[in-house]
Structure 1
Amino acid sequence: MASRADNIASSLSLANFSKATELKNRIWFTIAALIVFRFLSFVPLPGVNPLVLEQLYAQTQGGILDLFNTFSGGSLERMSLIALGIMPYITASIVVQLAASLHPALAAMKKEGASGRQKLNQYTRYGTVFLCAIQGWFLASGLEAYGASSGLQAVVFPGLTFRITAVISLVGGSMFLLWLGEQITSRGIGNGVSLIIMAGIVSRFPSFGANLFEGGRSGSISPFVIVFFVAMIVGLIVFISFMERAQRQLLIQYPKRASQRGMMQADRSHLPLKLNTSGVIPPIFASSLLLLPLTITQFAGQAIDPEGTTGGIINSLNFYLQHGKPLYLALYAAGIIFFTFFYTAVVFNPEETAENLKKNGGFIPGIRPGKRTQDFLDYVLTRITVIGALYLTLVCVLPEWAIAQTGIPLFLGGTSLLIVVNVTVDTISQIQSHLLAHQYGNLIKKAKLKGRLR
């Protein structure tokens, strides 16, 4: 049976791929759209001096800007038209999801089906424009004051005209990325927004690999450290791939119904509960909150003083909240665990799920419908969320600890690995679905042709 399944899988992925014209067109369209995204990341904002900006950015590394710069594929570092990337849309969608779970009117709109989801998507787009405008204004204002303490000026002609131009350009760039992501979703493969984020992260792989192996060649990095990093990344990728596919499937029983032969037959299905229901949201929230004070003081041009004599309490906290410090790792782990439980409670509602099962006549064997089912779902979800929180903590804290021990600036953290692996797995699933649809379409055509010949 195993060999037969392997033969079917290989024939499905190799023989039918060359015949699936629509799938190849979708893949080529996705590649072309991602190339456009990469070209845009090198188009600078009008009125910005890229050489001075490169010098200033090297002085303020380690803050929250590094996280956003990784997701945008270096666009923020170069201050391009898409410097804000797709993050405003991600933030707006999270806010709308939270509001839809807490606000009664939005919760009722969410239950309306396709029309309700369309309205919520429209609200998300409005929120994206609003966030882009606010972030663009503060980014333009920060650019004008960027490097004032060091005597460098990133903006050639600062003033109101530059700020308005920068805001319009940044809003237009982010909304174009959003449109490009929607085109990839409808005409390409998989979730376009996720693919754009993954492309930004993957685009930095060659430079990191080149720097790592160049350090090994020159002797500045030990070969043992290089082997350790490569083994750690490969091990984390395998571990993430396994954990992201892990599910707890609850058996759902439906009442017996009469079949075509007159026999009573009971329907069964499964309710899948993912081990990591919250996805990559907890690491992003936790790291953003921890890196925010450091980013503010860096833009203010203040130096970090470990004794706290010149910088005050904020500078002292910033010293101990740097990457790899014990306090940072402890708070990072605590933040991931907290946001994992919080976001899971927002995304999955046991009461609503139990009510839908009761309306459809379904029940969990041995559990009474209604309140008992709700309590059981909450109990199971809490147990698997504990494992999911520990998994996310391990994946995200281990690279940070490795960076602190070796001193190598590894940009590929746990959050980036989570995004890359998740999107890759989803893309492969989408390709397999298209291949299956193509195979069954050919079978249906052959069956119709044989029926006509007969």
Structure 2
Amino acid sequence: MQLVQSFQNCFKIPDLRRRILFTLGLLIVYRIGGQITVPGVELVVLKEYFESAGNTLFGLYDMFVGGAFTRGTIFALGIMPYISASIILQLLGAVIPYFQKLQREGEEGRKKITQYTRYGTVFLAAAQSYGVSFFITSIKAPYSGQPAVADPGIGFTLATMLTITTGTIFIMWLGEQITERGIGNGISLIIFIGIIAELPYAINQEYNLFIINRGFSKNIIEEILLIALMFAVVAFVILLTQGLRKIPVQYAKRVVGRRVYGGQTTHIPLRINTAGVIPIIFAQSIMFLPGTITQMFPGHEFMLAIGSFFSTESMFYWFVYGLMIIFFCYFYTAIVMDPNQLSDNMKKHGGFIPGVRPGPRTAQHIDGIMTRITLPGSIALAMVAIFPFFVTRQFNVAPSFAQFFGGTGLLIVVGVALDTLQQLESQLMTRHYEGFMKRGKIQGRRG
């Protein structure tokens, strides 16, 4: 009842109601654009071809864009070029001094990085749309042999590049508008709505599978247990997303004129899953690549043997996939968390960790804690990522439905939902309304 009342209060506040309706309106525009097919593409041929691409790199990409890639729409690339450009600039910030300087310049540096991200998005979208045009041209229906493009050529290539690149820029603009004038992070919400949009189709596919195999594969009790298992996995992902280690920090008192500054005690929140979903995305991209390549050589015995090792039903795949996630957790955490910079900032403002000398000792202390808490976090992340494959194999669940038992999709959905609810709760509390919970408060991924 408290939750329902809080949602009703959201629409009693004019500014908050306007922000929510604005966000919903732009998300509807995004979903409409995801149904408009690129001119000259046969949708039936694409559907027939991509039915077997669920466990390849194309299936992973299609999940993030809400099925727009397999439908060959003007939003086929989704917001992924923007995400790729952001990750590239973040990685460059760890090795190139110029970008490191921009990251330390505050608001002005952030604006420059945002501008470079936009330029990178346009470049990546143009390059990827060029590749997509050739890829779609090469597609033929597996059974009828009908080509996906009836009139290929330079005209189709240029038209595809123009429409898809423009669509990506438009999605980027939608995300920025939602962040500025709506509620929540626009880019994250666009990915969120794309994943959630596939849930009704996944439920329908699982329902049809149950009706066809009723009495043979699983009964109604097993279906109920599966639903209960899904709720348990969601609860575990929430714990993984919000789990953190608090390092106490004290600030010495400083007297400036007649005012006294500092003298307060706070903490540094270190998350056990600092890297988020990035390790899974990196690992999936690499692990799906061999399977995607082997599909290009049908009937080749050596390629079929390689493909069997990298099948999602293979124990070898699960083991290597888990190890890669653990590695990328440490790799990405080391990039986004710099203990030396954190220690220097604390020292400049008169902060220190009780019992630890400021300077290099503080950096070593923070680095040691990060190393220890990243291990259980990375193992838990690997378990969440592998669990959908296990569910598909052991419980005969449809692959599209199994992805909501864990993996990248569930982590993104839970993280974005927590962030958005946290912003809504902050808006309510600012205007003296009760939040979504009577005790405590919702914590987003950023604390």
Unaligned runs of 5+ in 2: 434-447
Q: Could you tell which deviates more after superposition, 162-171 or 316-325?
A: 316-325
Aligned residue number for residue 444 of structure 2: none
The structure 2 residue matched to 1:234, chosen from 204, 223, 231, is 231
Listed as ranges, the matches of 1:50-449 within 5 Å are: 50-147=43-140, 151-220=145-214, 221-223=217-219, 224-257=221-254, 266-298=263-295, 300=296, 302-303=297-298, 310-312=300-302, 314-411=303-400, 412=403, 413-439=406-432
Change (3 A) 1:123 1:216: same
Change (3 A) 1:360 1:58: same
Q: Radius of gyration: which is bigger? A: 1
Deviation (angstroms), 1:182: 0.6
Identify, as 1 or 2, the structure richer in helix.
Answer: 1
Distance in 2 (CA, whole Å) between partners of 1:339 and 1:222 is 37
Aligned residue number for residue 45 of structure 1: 38
In structure 1, what residue type is equivalent to 2:428?
L
Aligned residue number for residue 30 of structure 1: 23
Change (3 A) 1:261 1:359: closer
Change (3 A) 1:359 1:283: same
Deviation (angstroms), 1:11: 11
Deviation (angstroms), 1:59: 3.6
Preserved CA contact (<8 Å) 1:337 1:389: yes
Q: Deviations over 1:240-294 (max 9, x none)?
A: 1122111111111111356999999831111111111001101111011111122
Following TM superposition, where does structure 1 have runs of at least 4 consecutive aligned residues deviating by more than 6 angstroms? Answer: 9-12, 258-265
In structure 2, what residue type is equivalent to 1:52?
V
Q: Deviations over 1:9-50 (max 9, x none)?
A: 779836743431111111111111111111111100011011
Change (3 A) 1:260 1:239: farther
Distance in 2 (CA, whole Å) between partners of 1:283 and 1:54 is 27
Preserved CA contact (<8 Å) 2:290 2:310: no
Deviation (angstroms), 1:54: 1.1
Q: Could you tell which deviates more after superposition, 403-412 or 356-365?
A: 403-412
Change (3 A) 1:263 1:282: closer
Distance in 2 (CA, whole Å) between partners of 1:414 and 1:346 is 23
Distance in 1 (CA, whole Å) between partners of 2:52 and 2:4 is 54
Distance in 2 (CA, whole Å) between partners of 1:134 and 1:14 is 43
Q: Helix, strand or coil for the counterpart of 1:77?
A: coil
Preserved CA contact (<8 Å) 2:35 2:68: yes
Deviation (angstroms), 1:216: 2.4
Q: Helix, strand or coil for the counterpart of 2:352?
A: coil
Deviation (angstroms), 1:62: 1.8
Aligned residue number for residue 446 of structure 1: none
Distance in 2 (CA, whole Å) between partners of 1:90 and 1:196 is 12
Q: Helix, strand or coil for the counterpart of 2:252?
A: strand
Change (3 A) 1:264 1:431: closer
Distance in 2 (CA, whole Å) between partners of 1:15 and 1:45 is 41
Preserved CA contact (<8 Å) 1:253 1:362: yes
Q: Deviations over 1:74-120 (max 9, x none)?
A: 10110100001111111110000000111111101211111111111
Distance in 2 (CA, whole Å) between partners of 1:351 and 1:189 is 34
Unaligned runs of 5+ in 1: 1-6, 305-309, 441-454
Deviation (angstroms), 1:212: 1.6
Q: Could you tell which deviates more after superposition, 228-237 or 66-75?
A: 228-237
Q: Helix, strand or coil for the counterpart of 1:89?
A: helix
Q: Helix, strand or coil for the counterpart of 2:268?
A: strand
Q: How many residues were matched structurally?
A: 425
Change (3 A) 1:248 1:61: closer
Distance in 2 (CA, whole Å) between partners of 1:289 and 1:276 is 21
Q: Deviations over 1:410-438 (max 9, x none)?
A: 32241110000000000100101111222
Preserved CA contact (<8 Å) 2:245 2:271: yes
In structure 1, what residue type is equivalent to 2:137?
E
Distance in 2 (CA, whole Å) between partners of 1:261 and 1:45 is 68
In structure 2, what residue type is equivalent to 1:222?
K
Preserved CA contact (<8 Å) 2:49 2:141: no
In structure 2, what residue type is equivalent to 1:78?
R
Q: Helix, strand or coil for the counterpart of 1:155?
A: coil
Deviation (angstroms), 1:328: 0.9
Change (3 A) 1:22 1:263: closer
In structure 1, what residue type is equivalent to 2:179?
T
Preserved CA contact (<8 Å) 1:12 1:435: no
Q: CA RMSD in A?
A: 2.3
Distance in 2 (CA, whole Å) between partners of 1:317 and 1:367 is 52
Aligned-pair identity in percent equals: 38
Preserved CA contact (<8 Å) 2:54 2:60: no
In structure 2, what residue type is equivalent to 1:229?
L
* TM-score (ref. length: structure 1): 0.89
Q: Helix, strand or coil for the counterpart of 1:101?
A: coil
Preserved CA contact (<8 Å) 1:282 1:339: yes
Preserved CA contact (<8 Å) 1:273 1:381: yes
* TM-score (ref. length: structure 2): 0.90
Change (3 A) 1:141 1:225: farther
